[in-house]
């Protein structure tokens, strides 16, 4: 079939340097000056929409390339699902399906109800599944970018990003069935090294200077433990403990917030030793929040790195597996290489990356 229009979008994943979990509403409302620091990286999530001429009444094909899964539905059956939830999408395609349904409704509200064409929505994720790099959120942002462009025409992530983040957050929450934090969406939507300050009524988002990003690239090592994790489950347990005011959970989150602020101060001052101390303090508290935050494999990796040099690190995301990073304050390539080899010798994979200074990107070809 002749392709009438192609829309391609991509969004970065992120390394959360410090201050994760406090982005969950309403946790940050109970903390003093809560902040999250994250760095967009080039393990992109990608989405592509192809609108094609149809020989019949038209159909939609949803495809996850990395999951090797697809679902094909006639438009008339999909239209019924909008009102009745009568068709169940496979779990790996539920996010695709729900986001498509949302934007079909918006398209119809604009008076455009014609569906006499074929539509392919395909995605690909470059980060490992369950890596703790915000991959599912980056995928959702990429899909939303493509679908929003399909319905509304050209979009500007800087101008429209905050509104799109709200859409992504609400739709993904219905997929994961637990409250969703928002730092991952900001990382995917805007990229760069962001300081995200969570406040009542509004949030303050800002980029730290590019020279700091370059410094982090020279000092960070990223690894995948080989064990995936479920951030929704881990965050839900911590969420409940915080809301129920169990033990000293709230005090620990305030200490995490304080350590994150010290990390930001150190980064802005270019003090890499102090930055390492801030990360180490954050991780020392975070690992005590619940059983299973860390793992024996990750603990061995940190111990192996500490035998080589004075370094710091933490797990990415909610913990329980996935990725972790190590900061080498000296940026010495020889030391970094020794650490990399020592950790890889235990069967853990290093993930090469570069910082992504930009967030969501969308390109359109055709009418």
Q: Does residue 206 sit in helix, strand or coil?
A: strand
Mean pLDDT of the region 89-97: 89
Q: What is the pLDDT of residue 221?
A: 98
Asked if the model's pLDDT at residue 232 lies above 70, the reply is no
Domain residue ranges of the chain, discontinuous segments joined by +: 3-205+356-366, 209-350
Q: What is the pLDDT of residue 168?
A: 96
Q: Cα dist. 290→39, 247, 248, 352 in Å?
A: 25, 11, 11, 30
Q: Does residue 299 sit in helix, strand or coil?
A: helix
- Phi then psi dihedrals of residue 361, to 5 deg: -125, 135
Q: What is the rounded distance in angstroms from the CA atom of residue 128 to the CA atom of residue 10?
A: 16
Q: What is the rounded distance in angstroms from the CA atom of residue 226 to the CA atom of residue 131?
A: 8
Which tens digits make up the pLDDT trace of 148-194?
999 999 899 999 999 999 999 999 998 888 888 899 999 999 999 99
- Phi then psi dihedrals of residue 55, to 5 deg: -85, -10
Q: What is the pLDDT of residue 129?
A: 84
Asked if the model's pLDDT at residue 26 lies above 60, the reply is yes
Helix (H) or strand (E) holding 365: strand 361-366
Give the residue from 127, 115, 126, 165 showing the smallest Cα distance to 144: 165
Q: What is the pLDDT of residue 80?
A: 64
Q: What is the pLDDT of residue 2?
A: 72
Helical spans, DSSP H, in the chain: 75-84, 94-109, 135-152, 157-176, 183-190, 210-219, 231-243, 249-269, 272-286, 296-308, 333-344
Asked if omega into 121 is within 30° of 0 (cis), the reply is no
CATH architecture, domain 3-205+356-366: 2-Layer Sandwich (3.30)
The whole-chain average pLDDT of the chain stands at 92
The whole-model pTM stands at 0.94
Does residue 363 come out as left (phi exceeding 0), alpha (psi in the -120 to 50 range) or beta? beta
CATH class as words, domain 209-350: alpha beta
Which tens digits make up the pLDDT trace of 125-155?
999 888 999 999 999 999 999 999 999 998 9
Which tens digits make up the pLDDT trace of 29-52?
999 999 999 999 999 999 999 999
* Beta-bridge partner residues of 51: 5, 119
CB 37 within 8 A of CB 195: yes
- Phi then psi dihedrals of residue 306, to 5 deg: -65, -25
Asked if the model's pLDDT at residue 8 lies above 70, the reply is yes
Place of tokens 């001052």: 269
CB 19 within 8 A of CB 257: yes
Asked if the model's pLDDT at residue 357 lies above 60, the reply is yes
Which tens digits make up the pLDDT trace of 332-346?
999 999 999 999 999
Give the distance from CA 257 to its chain's centroid.
20
Q: Does residue 28 sit in helix, strand or coil?
A: helix
With pLDDT > 70 as the criterion, what percentage of the chain qualifies? 95
**What sign has the CA pseudo-torsion 73, 75, 80, 85?**
positive
All residues at 6 or more sequence positions from 175 whose CB lies less than 8 Å from its CB, including other chains: 94, 95, 98
Count Cα atoms within 13 angstroms, Cβ side, for 283. 24
């Amino acid at each position: 079939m002749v392709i009438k229009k192609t829309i391609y979008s991509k969004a970065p994943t992120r390394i959360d340097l410090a201050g994760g979990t406090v982005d969950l509403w309403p946790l940050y409302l109970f903390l003093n000056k809560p902040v999250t620091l994250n760095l967009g990286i080039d393990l992109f999530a990608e989405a592509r929409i192809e609108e094609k001429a149809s020989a019949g009444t038209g159909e939609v094909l949803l495809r996850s390339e990395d999951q090797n899964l697809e679902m094909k539905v006639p438009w008339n059956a999909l239209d019924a699902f909008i009102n009745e939830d009568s068709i169940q999408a496979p779990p790996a395609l539920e996010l695709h399906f729900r986001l498509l349904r949302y934007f079909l409704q918006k398209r119809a509200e604009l008076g455009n109800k014609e569906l006499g064409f074929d539509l392919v929505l395909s995605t690909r994720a470059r980060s490992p599944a369950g890596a703790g790099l915000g991959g599912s959120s980056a995928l959702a942002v990429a899909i939303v970018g493509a679908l929003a462009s399909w319905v509304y025409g050209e979009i500007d992530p800087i101008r429209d990003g905050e509104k799109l983040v709200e859409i992504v957050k609400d739709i993904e929450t219905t997929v994961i069935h637990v409250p969703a934090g928002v730092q991952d969406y900001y990382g995917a939507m805007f990229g760069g090294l962001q300081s995200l300050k969570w406040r009542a009524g509004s949030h303050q988002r800002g980029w730290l200077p590019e020279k700091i990003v370059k410094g982090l690239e020279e000092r960070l090592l990223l690894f995948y433990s080989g064990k995936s994790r479920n951030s929704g489950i881990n965050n839900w347990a911590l969420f409940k403990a915080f809301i129920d005011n169990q033990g000293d959970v709230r005090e620990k989150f305030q200490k995490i917030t304080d350590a994150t602020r010290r990390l930001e101060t150190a980064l802005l001052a270019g003090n890499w030793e102090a930055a390492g101390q801030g990360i180490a303090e954050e991780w020392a508290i975070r690992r005590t929040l619940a059983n299973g935050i860390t793992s024996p494999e990750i603990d061995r990796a940190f111990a192996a790195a500490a035998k080589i040099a004075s370094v710091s690190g933490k797990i990415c995301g909610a913990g329980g597996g996935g990725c972790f990073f190590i900061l080498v304050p000296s940026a010495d390539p020889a030391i970094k290489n020794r650490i990399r080899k020592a950790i890889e010798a235990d069967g853990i994979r290093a993930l090469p990356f570069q910082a992504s200074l930009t967030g969501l990107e969308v390109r359109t070809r055709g009418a």
